Amino acid sequence: MSTDKSKPYIPLAGGADDGWSQEHEATATCYCGGIQLAFPTQGPGLVDTFLCHCTDCRKITASMFASNFIVVDSHLRHLRGRENLKSYSQSRTIGSGKSMTNFFCSTCGSLMYRVGEAFPGHSILRIGTVDDFNLHETRLRPRIEQYAKDRVGWLHGIEGFEQVQGSAYRPKSSI
Ligand SMILES: [Zn+2]
Ligand SMILES: [Zn+2]
């Protein structure tokens, strides 16, 4: 782990080693490397960062919570592999009751982002796919923990993160 968090730190993680991190933009790459996105690392393109403990996020991440950041679609670039994305949507376990479409790498299964019908014009990316690991701790450090009511009992609220019992975002608001 590098100590200077202001400099990019891109460890080998998965099949690609061509991720990059610049002043205003950085990459997110799937596990096999076939899909690579570029996203803004500050506003207005970068809207917010949050953890979600909801039952849906636990299932879809095959883990205990999702670590997310919200990007305005006009600021999101597909660098490669867009044709290799597969999508799956449903609304049954989505807090808004509206459908959420998930975009996966069809080779390695990495969930790259989700798009909610209730939040048009935005994509929810995954902090864990971001190649510069120092961004996980700086500009992408989560600000909010939502659906804290669904958090697994052996985890506790993180100090300094705003705790929200349900959804932190109102559908069709300017999130
Ligand atoms: Zn992949
Ligand atoms: Zn969730």
In this structure, are residues 73 and 164 in contact, taking their beta carbons and an 8 Å threshold?
Answer: no
Q: What is the full per-residue pLDDT of the chain (175 aa) written as tens digits?
A: 557 888 999 999 999 999 999 999 999 999 999 999 999 999 999 999 999 999 999 999 999 999 999 999 999 999 999 999 999 999 888 877 889 999 999 999 999 999 999 899 999 999 999 999 999 999 999 999 999 999 999 999 999 999 999 999 887 644 4
Query: Would you call 89 helix, strand, or coil by DSSP?
Result: strand
To which H or E segment does residue 59 belong? helix 55-61
pLDDT in the model for residue 171: 74
Query: Would you call 70 helix, strand, or coil by DSSP?
Result: strand
How far does the centroid of ligand 2 lie from the alpha carbon of residue 56, in Å? 5
Cα separation, 74 vs 122, in Å, equals 8
pTM of the model: 0.93
| 170 CB-near residues (< 8 Å, 6+ apart) | none
Cα separation, 80 vs 33, in Å, equals 9
How far does the centroid of ligand 2 lie from the alpha carbon of residue 104, in Å? 17
Q: Provide the 8-state DSSP code for 149.
A: G
Q: Are strands 162-163 and 144-146 parallel, antiparallel or unpaired?
A: parallel
How far does the centroid of ligand 1 lie from the alpha carbon of residue 82, in Å? 11
Among the bound ligands, name the one nearest to the CA of residue 67: 2
